[in-house]
Structure 1
């Protein structure tokens, strides 16, 4: 069974998404019912919802929207990785509120849509450091040109548990390069970072990617971090740009077919259950 640590639900009737107007094929509703149908067929048994960069004044509304979904009979949703604004003074009170809410499992601030120096701001670093020793994780969604700044953030917060999304957005379409490869190696040297093997079918040639074209990126990430520091995610609906949930699950099984049952279980679900106490 698979634990999906990276599901996005988009409901334009319920929430506001300022970025969607420029998102091309993703500018549509992607509802839980659509995801759950395929997820159950693919053997997904647990899900964490990943924030979708809603309007800043709707962050709590997004969490509550997913809370209601989690209460439906048979729901797969076990919690949320909530949006946050560590660059703002209000973060400290938001953190206290979230620590009192067991449905919130962690935070994310998408860095590749923010100015490149966002994670270098003293207030940002100090606010993320407030997560030290708590049960909350912080997801890193970053492009390779931002690696140096993000690595400095990680070093400033050695007691915060970071999750590196999407194998750090590898340049699959243009081909392997030293910046990404060495960056993965550097992130893996930090014991407080876990890598998320998620949705990389959306980063290759959307028409002609294959298992073998994705293999070097997934294997380098897992090889660098080791089986105890990797988790799996779908990145639905972004993965639909490369074919969808079912092909991504099939790729996952193909890439891990030669691994031991214990190694597969760690990636598929055991590490996620341990990290987020589910």
Structure 2
């Protein structure tokens, strides 16, 4: 069986109270408003040869990061945690230094897609906070949509030392391939891929595909393949990493289905290239211990 690292998954307990986006009164999200914890994911990881995961923030609070670090300390399968810090706060550097004392704290993810200012990343983060990320050997997950890519480019050109991964390939318009929006996404992603510090996650794309593909892995392959081909051409296998985006994934399909969709894309590559995408890129980028 192929051994894998899932570079992007979440755990949450809604009763903690800081998941402001996770609303039971939004029908599309209602299935997610329950606990999703390590015991729920463990059988899926075992069934598909996933040896370690990267646990990613889902709330804009340091309390949630502490919650995730507690889970990571208790569960060896979590190889790294990507948390949240307000990079515009005067306290950001101190928060990063505190969190970095935990060996599984790997970096931060501002929830850029949900901020009212599309240009936030290029204007607001404090230089001392970004310098602290670099100094502490931390990484930056970019949760963005296509409209944020020009601002992200300006930010990255200012901070070439900062390792960055684009989550979910910036959520392109999967399935809408004839229009200006997809052409703009292709151009902007190719520009970002030209920066050597940037990697990209092959994750979250089934949820961006048309609802007609949900629950249908074959239809999802057809919808996702043009995105996959552009990512591979732009980033190469050694800067792409696979992730599930579980449990958000469950709104579109299941873990086995996303493995099937991903295999249909990744499986045509050489063994070495496949190894990069399934585990090597994530292991290297996040400095995940294999001991």
With normalisation by structure 1, the TM-score equals 0.91
Residue 233 of structure 2 is aligned to residue 207 of structure 1: no
1:235 matched to 2:235: no
Aligned-partner Cα distance in 1 for 2:168–2:56: 12
1:88-99, aligned counterparts within 5 Å?
88-99=89-100
* SS of residue paired to 1:142: coil
- CA 149–12 in structure 1, closer or farther in 2 if over 3 Å, else same: same
In angstroms, what is the RMSD of aligned CA positions?
1.9
SS across alignment from 1:49? strand
Q: In structure 1, what is the equivalent of residue 35 of structure 2?
A: 29
* Residues 104, 72 of structure 1: alpha-carbon distance in 2 compared, 3 angstrom cutoff: closer
Cα 1:174/1:126, change in 2 over 3 Å: farther
Please identify, of 14-23 and 27-36, the stretch whose mean Cα deviation from structure 2 is larger: 14-23
Single out whichever of 36-45 and 167-176 deviates more from structure 2.
Answer: 167-176
Task: Tell me what 1:141 maps to.
Answer: 143
Match of 1:101 in 2: 102
Contact 2:54-2:78 within 8 A present in 1 as well: yes
2:161 corresponds in structure 1 to 159
Looking at structure 1, the residues matched to 198 and 125 of structure 2 have their Cα atoms a distance apart, in angstroms, of 21
Structure 1 residue 5, shift from structure 2 partner: 1.2
Distance 1:72 1:16 in 2: 22
Unpaired runs of at least 5, structure 2: 214-218
TM-score, reference length from structure 2 = 0.87
Query: Does 2:284 correspond to 1:274?
Result: yes
The SS at the match of 1:246 is helix
Contact 2:72-2:81 within 8 A present in 1 as well: no
Question: SS where residue 85 of structure 1 aligns?
Answer: coil
Displacement after TM superposition at 1:248 (Å): 0.6
Is the contact made by 1:206 and 1:241 (CA closer than 8 Å) also made in structure 2?
Answer: no
Distance 1:125 1:154, change over 3 A: farther
Structure 1: 5+ residue stretches without partners: none
Bigger shift: residues 238-247 or 170-179: 170-179
Q: Does the CA-based 8 Å contact 1:167-1:218 persist in structure 2? A: no
1:42 aligned partner: 48
* Further displaced range: 144-153 or 206-215: 206-215
Aligned residues: 273
